[in-house]
Structure 1
Amino acid sequence: YPLFLLAAGYLVITSKRFLVTEKKKELVEASAIETNKMLGLSFQGQGMLDMAFDKFRKCPIDDQMKELLYNLALDFERKRQFNKAVAVYEHIITVDPSYKGISDRVKQLKAASDGAVFGVGVKKGPADGTVMIEGAAATAPTLGRYEIVKELGRGAMGTVYLGKDPKINRMVAIKTVRFDDDVDETTMKAVKERFFREAESAGSLNHPNIIKIYDAGEDNEVSYIAMELLDGEDLKKYTEKDKLLPLPTVLDYAVKAADALDYAHQQGIVHRDIKPANIMLLKDRTLRITDFGIARITASSKTQTGTVMGTPSYMSPEQLAGKKVDGRSDLFSLGVVLYELLTGEKPFSGESIAELLYKIANEKHPDPKTKVPALPDSVVKVIDKLLEKNPDQRYQRGAEVASDLMECLRSISSAG
């Protein structure tokens, strides 16, 4: 009987220890699961999606975890990492193939991932250029922290999108920048470093007549610049002969542009691509110069000597020659714009690019009074000085241009 009691006591103690150990083990496991969830959410919040998935995979797939995994997959989609989104969806499918229609979504994403360069392999709305993945759970792609709403336009230097900064609920214009692919890895690294330096410099400009640059970054090898979204039109249409603006209006816009250029030049920043298409007129008639630094940023992936970047008709002789340029080159370009806004014709033209470039470098521009006889001599004098071939004989600062144009405006006003 004593032996029986001893054995029974031993069994009770052993069982109790086992149950306590198992309870502790369950608590440890539950704690580990909760820790992995919290770490996963933390990583996801910081944009470290791969690390988030690594933590989530260590958790049992209950209803809460399905939702967490589903949201993580959507984040991968926004980053256009479709293969990784598929991996997350397939992890959910192991326990619930019908969850939120993800089986069909996996098929769509696998098709999209075959050509998943930004804007490729996704549905593009025919009317507004909206970029979306098809499906009920469709989600807008992102660049960095910006949600892409739709495409606004394309150019030789990249694509412009309408974007949204969800942190402050601000709509922005996002321009992706194309680099020359024909460079080695070391050169490309240097190019992108220069890109961010140039974008940072342009972003430091704070002038009422210069577009504001908010941010620059790279997302999945897509470099981009986020900038102020403008509501208006450029000056290009006002270079047509039947749509020319009144002389005082043109001079007023030229004063503002010259003042903005002077400000930028004093900060050591040259535009390099001043033309009507890069001067915006907002609905409240405010003027904005756009694309500051874009020509230089794009030129960064090309050799600097002997490389022509910009729009030939508006380029200075020294820029055409591939020489190092300063603010006076922008003033030559402004002279071309002013000539065109007043006459409806460019000061230099040719049957071919070669002829055009020769005329810019060697021939004097036609007298604008032959196009518009009523043009005041004081205005012609400003144009002539802006279009001097030798930068040393040109205006040296935009402030000088603005001052002379203001004097022209005063003369016109007093004469009227």
Structure 2
Amino acid sequence: MPTIGHIGRYALKYKIGAGGLGTVYAAHDPLLSRLIAIKTLNLEIAPEEREAFNALFLNEARAAGGLSHPHIVTVFDAGVSDQSAYIAMELLKGRDLRQLRQEGWRPTPVQAATIVRRVADALAYAHSKGVIHRDIKPANIFMVGRTQPRVLDFGIARIAHQHDGAGDVAAGSPYYMAPEQARQQPVDRRADVFSLGVVLYELLTDKKPFRGSTLSEITTAVIEHKPPRADEVDPSVPSALAEIVARAMEKDPEHRFRSARALSRELRHWLEENAQNSAPDSLPPDAAANAPQRRKSAVAIAAGLVIGLLAGLGWLTLSGGERPPATAAAPAPVVVAAAAPAASVAAPAAAPAPAPAAVPAEPAATAASAAPEPAAAAIAEPPRETRKPAAAKPAPARKRALRARAGPPDRARAACALPSAPGAMSRSTEPPWARRRR
């Protein structure tokens, strides 16, 4: 980017704008390697006044540089060169309120109240540091977006007007200055409150409250003329908001808001009561532009929560379905081999066994050895209606199963033959002497 000049250590790159008090350039800071804004003061200073002016300028610049607020432009540096005095500040993208209004933009009541409330917060902070602006007007309110103001030129008006010989009292632009400024009386923080009230009036009605073709006529109007209320000029202006504007523009400082903080508080209360009831088209453009993005973010978050919930339910279902096998065996017939010639009776504890059936020896032995040890021990005992879940010692059952596997085939076949009723014996298991006797 070509350089069009130098001031101090800064290389001027291009001209941003010009006003009655100075010119603003985009400049490069070689020390910190960044782009900044340089405002030069277009003042003709006599050589004998140079020292006093330099002291005043640096003092005001030092006070402005000590302000750190989200709605006040940040001052990086200040200095005096052979050509003029300059202030280095942050480079912002946007336009001031004067330019926006000249382009035809008119804010809604909610937007206007939001802008002025934030400017009032910035002024309240500056007042707490002992700094009074004295020249609040649309050209000194730089807009980043539509509802993010930055207040410019703290102390510049005082420097310029003191240099002109008017002293501290006449600093300010004629359309926005307070009556005590027009009368050249001492001013305090309530002068900034009056000027900010005029800005709000103009934003709401699109008209200046004080008019005149000459400086004298404008000054007379500021001192004597009482403008109509904002809701009388434009019926769409809310009555409560018009009342706040009228109080801020009171001629007598004692009847105004006592501070910028009090004005900000009233505007905040009005916004809390009316912002949520405003129509969707009254939202600030930056908020309206970000609304679809916020909705997309909300949908994405909701979808993520649903997916996480379904995954959790699926995991619980899978983990819950894999239950360990029950320790109690189902009431199935379990064969217990008896060592004695007489066959032992094995039947479920719940009901008598069905009709007797002959089972081959080898499967019977396998079934006896494969049966769960606690179940075999439980059936070996007499059936009970209620019994404790504690299982008997498994060693005897294992021994009986081994004996049954090692026993002769006729004993296994005798054990597998189940009688139809307790105490009855099958014909095939009767001893020979019993059949001969019968």
- Deviation per CA, 1:107-155: give whole Å up to 9, x if none: xxxxxxxxxxxxxxxxxxxxx9x654xxxxxxxx322221111222222
Corresponding position: 1:356 with 2:218: yes
Matches within 5 A, 1:6-405: 132=4, 141-181=5-45, 183=46, 185=48, 187-239=49-101, 243-283=105-145, 285-305=147-167, 308-405=170-267
Provide the secondary structure at the position in 2 that maps to 1:270. coil
TM-score for both structures, normalised by structure 1:
0.63
**Is the Cα contact below 8 Å between 1:305 and 1:323 reproduced in 2?**
no
**Is the Cα contact below 8 Å between 2:158 and 2:168 reproduced in 1?**
no
**Is the Cα contact below 8 Å between 1:178 and 1:298 reproduced in 2?**
no
Which residue number corresponds to residue 74 of structure 1?
none
Please state how far the C-alpha of 1:313 moved relative to its aligned partner.
0.5
**Is the Cα contact below 8 Å between 1:241 and 1:344 reproduced in 2?**
no
**Is the Cα contact below 8 Å between 2:161 and 2:168 reproduced in 1?**
no
Higher deviation after alignment, 228-237 or 330-339: 228-237
Cα distance in structure 2, aligned partners of 1:248 and 1:277: 21
* Shift in CA distance, 383/184, structure 1 to aligned 2, threshold 3 Å: same
Cα distance in structure 2, aligned partners of 1:229 and 1:357: 34
Provide the secondary structure at the position in 1 that maps to 2:39. strand
Structure 1 residues without counterparts, runs of 5 or longer: 1-127, 133-140
- Aligned amino acid, residue 41 of structure 2: V
Please state how far the C-alpha of 1:309 moved relative to its aligned partner.
3.1
Q: Which has the larger radius of gyration?
A: 2
Cα distance in structure 2, aligned partners of 1:367 and 1:250: 16
**Is the Cα contact below 8 Å between 1:258 and 1:398 reproduced in 2?**
yes
Cα distance in structure 2, aligned partners of 1:343 and 1:409: 18
Provide the secondary structure at the position in 1 that maps to 2:269. helix
Please state how far the C-alpha of 1:296 moved relative to its aligned partner.
1.3
Q: Percent identity?
A: 37
Provide the secondary structure at the position in 1 that maps to 2:175. helix
- Aligned amino acid, residue 10 of structure 2: Y
Cα distance in structure 2, aligned partners of 1:196 and 1:151: 24
- Aligned amino acid, residue 158 of structure 1: G
Cα distance in structure 1, aligned partners of 2:79 and 2:167: 27
Cα distance in structure 2, aligned partners of 1:237 and 1:393: 32
Cα distance in structure 1, aligned partners of 2:13 and 2:47: 33
Structure 2 residues without counterparts, runs of 5 or longer: 279-438
- Aligned amino acid, residue 258 of structure 2: Q
How many residue pairs were aligned? 278
* Shift in CA distance, 131/366, structure 1 to aligned 2, threshold 3 Å: farther
TM-score for both structures, normalised by structure 2:
0.60
Corresponding position: 1:407 with 2:269: yes
